[in-house]
């Protein structure tokens, strides 16, 4: 076995025999994913130093891992941020087990996994005057595109150092862009997804604030849902405490 290609082929074959089946909430079915590799774990370690508000490097790293490992490549563009959460929780269980250690005691990942399995479609249409917007849970491909094109180089250069308050305006418009599926002006679609992230931002910034606020209400629903899903019970000496899991590099690789 001294031929490097033979070694790599054997290891790839091993990976293909150890598939992780993950229930994807938006698709209402299980999808297979290959195990995380050493190179992919290195990406996660590299994401340890990140923009603390947007978590740009973590979003990019996990998107690339998910799309590289997914056995059904035709569905990767349809995966949303709640699906990503389900996949990362499944990887965490596989890598380090179901138990989460905290200062308040032990919690279990499965509690969050079970909540995700019950989520229904959240897509809806909002309108104001002669403008309608189809909104949805952000796709991970859209989130990846925004972070890669708008913030990634700044993060690498360690220039993106805004705190939460300073970044609030960027978050407000950026998260709105990611939730928009299509915009209709007098019932004519503008094909919103064809535009670059910067162009999408320009479009969103010209919309009436009444519409933007309605998208903002949807974003709040998503935020609260995400918090609810990640809120689990930790138990220590018969005392139960609710804690919120933080899905980051440390959660996946236990630095």
Give the pLDDT score at 55: 81
Q: What is the pLDDT of residue 148?
A: 86
Query: Between vectors from CA 204 to CA 196 and to CA 57, what angle results, nearest 5°?
Result: 50
Distance (Å) of CA 64 to CA 57, 60, 67, 145, 220: 11, 6, 5, 11, 27
pLDDT tens track, the chain, 255 positions: 567 776 556 666 666 667 999 999 999 999 999 999 989 999 998 887 665 556 888 999 999 999 999 999 999 999 999 999 999 999 999 999 999 999 999 999 999 999 999 999 999 999 999 999 999 999 999 999 998 887 655 655 555 555 554 556 677 888 999 999 999 999 999 999 999 999 999 999 999 999 999 999 999 999 999 999 999 999 998 899 999 999 998 898 876
- Distance between CA atoms of residues 103 and 111, nearest Å: 18
Task: Concatenate the DSSP letters of all residues of 101-165 into one string.
Answer: EETTEEEETHHHHHHHTTPPP--EEEEETTEEEEE-SPBHHHHHHHIIIIIHHHHHTT-----HH
d(CA 95, CA 98): 9
Instruction: Give the DSSP H or E segment for 100.
Output: strand 99-102
Q: pTM above 0.85? A: yes
């Amino acid at each position: 076995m001294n031929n490097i290609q033979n070694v790599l082929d054997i290891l790839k074959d091993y990976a293909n025999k150890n598939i992780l089946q993950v229930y994807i909430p938006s698709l209402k079915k299980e999808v297979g994913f290959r195990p995380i590799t050493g190179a992919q774990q290195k990406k996660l370690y590299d994401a340890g130093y990140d923009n603390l508000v947007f978590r740009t490097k973590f979003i990019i790293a996990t998107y690339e891992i998910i799309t590289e490992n997914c056995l059904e490549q035709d569905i990767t563009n349809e995966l949303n941020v709640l699906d990503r959460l389900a996949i990362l929780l499944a990887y965490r269980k596989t890598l380090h087990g179901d138990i989460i250690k905290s200062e308040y005691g032990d919690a279990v990942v499965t509690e969050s996994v079970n909540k995700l399995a019950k989520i229904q479609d959240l897509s809806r249409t909002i309108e104001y005057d002669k403008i309608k917007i189809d909104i949805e849970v952000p796709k991970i491909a859209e989130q990846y595109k925004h972070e890669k094109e708008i913030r990634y180089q700044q993060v690498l250069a360690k220039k993106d150092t805004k705190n939460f308050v300073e970044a609030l305006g960027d978050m407000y418009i950026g998260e709105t862009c990611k939730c928009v599926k299509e915009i209709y002006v007098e019932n004519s679609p503008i094909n919103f997804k064809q535009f670059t992230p910067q162009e999408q931002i320009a479009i969103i910034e010209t919309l009436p604030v009444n519409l933007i606020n309605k998208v903002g209400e949807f974003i709040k629903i998503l935020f609260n849902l995400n918090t609810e899903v990640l809120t689990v019970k930790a138990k220590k000496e018969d005392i139960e405490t609710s804690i919120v899991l933080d899905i980051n590099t440390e959660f996946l690789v236990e630095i």
